[in-house]
Amino acid sequence: MDRTSIQKIFTGIFLIACIIFGVNKLTTDDSGILNFETGTGSSSRMTYGRFLEYLEMGWVNQVDLYDNSRNAIVQASSPELGSRPQSIRVEIPIGASQLIQKLKDYNIDFDAHPTQKQTLLMMVASNLIIPFIFIGGLIFLFGKSDNLPQNSGSSPMSPLNAGKSPARFDPRPDTGINFSDIAGIDEAKAEFEEIVSFLKEPDRYTRVGAKIPKGVLLVGPPGTGKTLLAKAIANEANVPFFSVAGSEFVEMFIGIGAARIRDLFTKAAENAPCIVFIDEIDAVGRERGSGIGGGNDEREQTLNQLLTEMDGFKENKGVIVVGATNRVDILDGALLRPGRFDRRITVGLPDRSGRIGILKVHAKNKPLAENVSLDQLANRTPGFSGADLANLLNEAAILATRYKKEIISNNEVNEAADRVIGGIAGTSMEDTKNKRLIAYHEIGHAIAGSVIPDHDEVEKITLIPRGGAKGLTWFTPDEENQTLISRSQLLARITVTLAGRVTEQLVFGDTEVTTGASNDLQRVTTIARQMVTRYGMSVIGPIALENDDSPVDYDNKLANRIDTEVCKIINHCENVAKKIILDNRVVIDLAVEKLLDVETLDGEEFRNIIESYTVLPRKIN
Ligand code: ADP
Ligand code: ZN
């Protein structure tokens, strides 16, 4: 027997185990929604202990108890789950009867579902399962598929529902989400508002011969509000809402994925007008023939079925398919052709005003102190997605609860931001020579950052370790500096980053320099190298010697020249940093004493200290 057939048998055994497990746990609730997915199911699990931790952290939104409270499906969202609500399955050990009390204490929405009695019919049915298992196993072993499944653990899988669509269906969606809950992605919102008005009054459009898109593709990084948008249109238009993840169609049996797509669209047509939301559509929509090993029959069939279904309705009778993906580049071209996903909407990371809007949305239900400035928080958080921002405010609320406060003050908001950006704080260091050295290092960064006009302002300096760093200096990033950065700004960044180590050197002597600056040096090297190889900012000239996708080939001689130029930039900046530190030695000593005393200085306090001394502005070129 060769290796693949052995592998197949093993996977076969695995599958069988899943079926046995799955059928026993299969229950549906009143709305017909599948609650317990099978062993292969997409819902993840966590241990009871972990679940208690989640409770404590305030990450649990809702709990459904089954089987006399022996199993639970937990709706939770946490930073480690990407801050999106997810269903997680928890097995509750016998004797966890205090759980319900706990849930009450934490004010968690929960529901206990009655156990279904094992009827005679069920017992007969469960005896029938054995033949199913054998048949299933046989089909698997001798199935037509030549390829091993690439994704074998994705969706509810039992002989009983194999060809059924795994989509969650909500006939009267009260998702509770309105367009007013979405901020920072105005273009996408406008597009969707139009779709809503079509769903409400289709005649207005058809009268003037306007065709409405069948498919809308939302493209953007995770957490930017794509799911939120889809929920909002369903809610605002008050039409049924189907939602499913692309990976739930990816199966190991040929034809099952396609059957599920067919089933989904049949149901959708019956319920039109309605919205079908397919998250991670790239899982089905991946370019054909690009799978490992040259192609995957199952996935191609699934994709073909999707294409057929979308072509099927010549005129849009009201089924609007909304797809979401982060990887439009790997989608099959056929999906993007007119008549299918003919509208593509980019949902990007929010800019500063977008972030302010999103923060306002999520601050609505939170009692914030008057001095909390969402504008300032938005300044600190470039590159944050909507989900990150929601998480940040939630974290602040948790901290406020922990400190037994009625309202969330600036303190909690700042601490939450520090945590999210820099990691969890450790305990502060003993007063040793090391602590003094770190204080000099950080003040070195801060002084250089304040002296050079092209650099961002100091936000905060701290000696409290956080996320692996022993001390930290934060700068308030300037929004404009995020996209178009000038040469002098890059030089400023290099100089400021080097200034920490330079200060160690000048104050404590060459022999005392520590390993603490390795991170700084890495960053410096990356910036300097990019200046030479990408931005044409050296005497080598305006040539792109490297880019994201393909490294450009160059010979040894050129490689040496690049290295020389990188060194030149770094050496130059190091000299500038030395000069700055020497010129400001007095004020550095003063600031270090203050910092050792209080451990954390905010930007304002730091500027007050250095203001009374002359700090020479210095432009680097
Ligand atoms: P995606 O589908 O793009 O991965 P989601 O729509 O699931 O992201 O967003 C996750 C959560 O993040 C939302 O439930 C919401 O709380 C928050 N969020 C994301 N984007 C926005 C936004 N533009 N406005 C308000 N909240 C947002
Ligand atoms: Zn440093």
Model confidence over 169-191: pLDDT tens digits? 776 666 678 888 899 888 888 88
Residue 354 in contact with ligand 1 by CB distance below 6 A = no
Peptide bond into 273 cis (omega under 30): yes
Q: What angle do CA 38, 292, 142 make, to 5 degrees?
A: 55
- What separation, in Å, do the N-terminal and C-terminal C-alpha atoms of the chain show? 70
Do 216 and 96 lie in one domain? The reply is no
Q: Is residue 133 part of a domain?
A: no
Statement: residue 407 has pLDDT above 80: yes
Does residue 327 belong to any structural domain of this protein? Answer: yes
Give the pair of three-digit tokens for residue 535. 């931005």
pLDDT band at 157 (very low <50, low <70, confident <90, very high): very low
Same structural domain for residues 578 and 437? yes
Is residue 233 a part of any domain in this protein? yes
Residue 296 sits in the same domain as residue 386: no
Q: What is the CATH number of the domain that holds 45?
A: 3.30.720.210
358 lines ligand 1 (CB under 6 A): yes
Q: Which atom of ligand 1 is nearest to the CA of 185?
A: 23
Domain residues for the domain of 507 are 433-610
Active site residues: 442
Report the SS3 class of residue 206: helix
The predicted structure's pLDDT at residue 64: 82
Residue 81 lies in a domain: yes
Most confident by average pLDDT, 208-212, 234-238, 320-324, 464-468? 320-324
Question: Measured from the CB, is residue 387 less than 6 Å from ligand 1?
Answer: yes
Question: Which of 32-36, 263-267, 329-333, 489-493 shows the lowest mean pLDDT across its residues?
Answer: 32-36
Decide if 500 contacts 520 (C-beta within 8 A): yes
**CATH code where residue 280 lies:** 3.40.50.300
Counted domains in the chain:
4
58-78 pLDDT, tens digit per residue, is 888 888 877 767 778 888 887
Final residue before a domain boundary, out of 398, 422, 446: 422
The pLDDT assigned to 28 comes to 28
Q: How many angstroms is it from 373 CA to the middle of ligand 1?
A: 22
Residue that is last in its domain, among 287, 318, 346: 346
Rounded to the nearest angstrom, the distance between the alpha carbon of 586 and the centre of ligand 2 is: 20
Q: Is 389 in the pocket of ligand 1 (CB under 6 A)?
A: no
Distance 421 CA to ligand 2 centre (A): 16
In a domain, 123, yes or no: no
Tell which of 297, 316, 346 closes a domain.
346
Q: Does residue 411 share a domain with residue 469? A: no
Q: Is the CB of 361 under 6 A from ligand 1?
A: yes
Residue with the bigger pLDDT between 97 and 160: it is 97
Region 117-141 average pLDDT:
51
Q: How many residues does the chain have?
A: 621
CATH classification of the domain holding 527: 1.20.58.760
pLDDT tens string 347-371 = 888 888 899 999 999 999 999 999 8
∠473-476-482 over CA atoms, to 5°?
Answer: 120
Q: Are residues 297 and 359 in the same domain?
A: no
Going by alpha carbons, the residue nearest to atom 7 of ligand 1 is 227
The residue to mutate among 86, 224, 235, having the most atoms of ligand 1 within 8 angstroms of its beta carbon, is 224
Looking at the structure, tell me whether residues 275 and 191 fall in a common domain: yes
**Residue 512 domain-assigned?**
yes
The reply to whether ligand 1 has any atom less than 6 angstroms from the CB of 331 is: no
* Distance between Cα 386 and ligand 1 center (Å): 5
Residue of the CA atom closest to atom 6 of ligand 1 = 225
Quick: pLDDT tens for 283-334.
888 777 655 444 567 778 888 888 888 886 556 667 889 999 988 888 888 8
148 occurs within a structural domain: no
Report, as an integer, the average pLDDT of 130-139.
51
In short, whether 185's Cβ falls inside 6 Å of ligand 1 is yes
Least confident stretch, 205-209, 269-273, 320-324, 616-620: 616-620
- In a domain, residue 173? The reply is yes
Instruction: Say yes or no: 269 and 381 in one domain.
Output: no
Q: What is the mean pLDDT of residues 485-506?
A: 94
Whether residue 191 sits in one domain with residue 108: no
Closest to 159 (Cα-Cα) out of 135, 175, 180: 135
> Are 386 and 415 in a shared domain?
yes
Do 176 and 54 belong to one domain? no
- The predicted model gives 329-345 an average pLDDT of 84
Residue whose entry in the numeric block shows the structure tokens 């880019």: 547
Is the domain of 384 the same as that of 482?
no
Residues 367, 256 share a domain = no
d(CA 523, ligand 2 centre) in Å? 10
